Amino acid sequence: MATYNVELDRDGPGLLLRDILRGEDPQVAAVAQVVARVAPDILVLQRVDYDLELQALTALRDMLAESGPEYPHLFALRPNTGMATGLDLDGDGRVAEPRDAQGYGEFSGQRGMAVLSRYPLEAEKARDFSALLWRDLPGALLPEMDGAPFPSPEAQAIQRLSTVGHWVVPVRVGDTALDLMVFHASPPVFDGPEDRNGRRNHDELKFWQHYLDGQFGAPSDAPFVLLGDANLDPADSDGRRVAIAELLSDPRVQDPRPMRAGDVVGDPGHRGDPRLDTVEWPAPGPGALRIDYILPSADLRVAEAGIYWPEEGSEAAEIMRAASRHRLIWVDLQLDMQ
């Protein structure tokens, strides 16, 4: 299986569908080529625009099938991104701006998530925790300014935890049932001294440990795979790195540490292993970081793991960069299939 932040969001509703159907968009074509080269059985996407009838996702699925894997099973729910609130959620004194939505977005559905699978997804059994209020998370690190709730008590009364969503989607592979635990957390930056985004990112990651603890109803007995974009590097991020460090060290999960091949020289001051990096932001951005993860439950057998990062200077590397600043990461699991 694989997770991939494809950065296919567009500036308005329907534009992604338009770009896919025209068949002339170089980024869409590049994403399709990357997916075709890896051909995962289960693919989780971030930053793909959502629409109610999944028309854009279906069109993307059909385009992928032209030269790559076929995914008969699709799953996507309305994300929190772009969901209007009518309140000032970022404390800048204005409303109806992208940062005043439940999750940053120019319109409802922008920057959503999706699951594409060769294997049946049990959508009727999926659990969606996207409506959970941030303040209802145990131990929530709600932001304050001068001892008062930031940006206001009214905002915190309706603010959801999930920037995009937290889903648990069952999938059946032969006789084996798996739970896909899917998410895309807020970047822990783009805020002020109140550290609203840093605190939210921390709590979006902590959610999964609370979920496994049974804080939101008993989790199923099925093995699981936690995968998505955490927007947090355990060694080099500006955010509250303790959140991802604690998740990676949780004995209920294992970290296969997907790596790119070959010798890699990290950015100056880079503390983590640069072979683990999953995104490459050009200057003046933060550079290369490890922020995308696939974490199978401890009872699953991992055969292999990696990052799709072709050799520099190759045509494949050019296509990879045309697709997204993020890299597709994958993990092979050995399952007892009958």
User: What is the pLDDT of the chain when averaged over all its residues?
Assistant: 96
CA proximity to 61, closest of 100, 109, 8: 8
Q: For residue 337, what pLDDT band results from cuts at 50, 70 and 90?
A: low
Token output for 83:
């969901």
Region for residue 152 given its phi and psi (left: phi exceeds 0; alpha: psi -120 to 50; beta: otherwise): beta
Q: Taking residues 233-262, what's their average pLDDT?
A: 96
User: Whole-model pTM?
Assistant: 0.97
pLDDT digits (tens, 9 = 90+) for 199-245: 999 999 999 999 999 999 999 999 999 999 999 999 998 899 999 99
Average pLDDT over residues 300-326: 97
pLDDT in tens, 152-186: 999 999 999 999 999 999 999 999 999 999 999 99
* Contact between 3 and 292 (Cβ < 8 Å): yes
Enter the tokens of residue 251.
């004995």
- CB 108 within 8 Å of CB 165: no
Contacts of residue 139, Cβ cutoff 8 Å, sequence gap at least 6: 206
Side-by-side strand order, sheet with 224-229: 127-128, 166-173, 176-184, 224-229, 292-296
Cβ-based neighbours of 179, under 8 Å, separated by 6 or more: 168, 169, 170, 171, 219, 220, 222, 223, 224, 225
- pLDDT over 70 percentage in the chain: 99
pLDDT at 338 over 80: no
CA–CA distance, 17 with 57 (Å, rounded to integer): 8
